[in-house]
Copies of this chain bind each other. A is one copy, B any other.
Amino acid sequence: MTLTLLYVIYLIAITAEAMSGAIMGMRRGMDLFGISLLGTVTALGGGTARDVLLGHYPVGWIAHPEYLSFTIGAAIVTAFIARQMHHLRKLFLIVDGLGLVAFTVIGCDVAMGMEAHPSIVVLAGVITGIFGGLLRDILCNEVPMVLRRELYATVALFTGVLYVSLLWLGIDIQIASLAALVSGFLLRMLAIRFGWRLPQYDSENIRGLD
């Protein structure tokens, strides 16, 4: 049951991520092809980075090309309705938060299936959760937001650590993944609501080493 739920959340999430990527591409003056590619990279880049780093072939969207119709379709729809989409901003943040925790749990599952070390399992979850946004920002010539912003990457880390810990304690995998999804999602919503963030650094006072 949880697997089906995860899968549905996953499809909704890649659609939402593709839309966020497409909007960012439109704001950089990209054409329809660029928007589709940027949307796809945003949605599927995390899972792709995880699979390439783990040597887990075939990569997700090569085994399931139907994912590409979701992301490309979402990007093209976005090109037509983008002017209206800021009305959906709150809905988007909710779906994006759901996607973040779903990506993380799915990433942990892939690494566990390869019998990786627990720390690698958590990291595979985090990479799945955040690398899509990271690649999107690199393509848009930005210092990646996930490295700077409120508890985004930290939510992925929290979700992964909680999930792996619950499994290690012998909790049933369905309950563990549900608990991780719900807790991670709540943390993300609270972080947005109250503007929580990790400490950042006063860059003026720090001299480089080169």
Q: Does A4 touch B at the CB level, under 8 Å?
A: no
Q: Are A148 and B86 within 8 A (Cβ)? A: no
Q: Does A167 touch B at the CB level, under 8 Å?
A: no
CA distance A208 to B208 in the complex (A): 33
Q: Are B52 and A52 within 8 A (Cβ)? A: yes
- Shortest A162–chain B CB gap in Å is 16
Q: Does A5 touch B at the CB level, under 8 Å?
A: no
CA distance A85 to B31 in the complex (A): 29
Q: Are B27 and A120 within 8 A (Cβ)? A: no
**For the complex, would chain A's binding face be called helix, strand, loop or mixed by DSSP majority?**
helix
Q: Which residues of chain B have C-beta atoms less than 8 A from A19's C-beta? A: 209
Q: Which residues of chain B have C-beta atoms less than 8 A from A198's C-beta? A: 31-33
Q: Nearest chain-B residue to A200 (Cβ)?
A: B31
Q: Does A62 touch B at the CB level, under 8 Å?
A: yes
CA distance A28 to B53 in the complex (A): 26
Q: Which residues of chain B have C-beta atoms less than 8 A from A55's C-beta? A: 55, 57-59
- A33, A68, A82, A140: which has the most chain B beta carbons within 10 Å? A33
Residue from B29, B96, B146 in contact with A148 in the complex, judged by beta carbons closer than 8 Å: B29
A-to-B contact residues, CB < 8 Å: 19-20, 23-35, 37-38, 48, 52-55, 57-59, 62, 65, 68, 79, 82-83, 85-86, 88-89, 92-93, 96, 116-117, 119-120, 123, 134, 138-149, 153-154, 157, 197-201, 203, 205-210
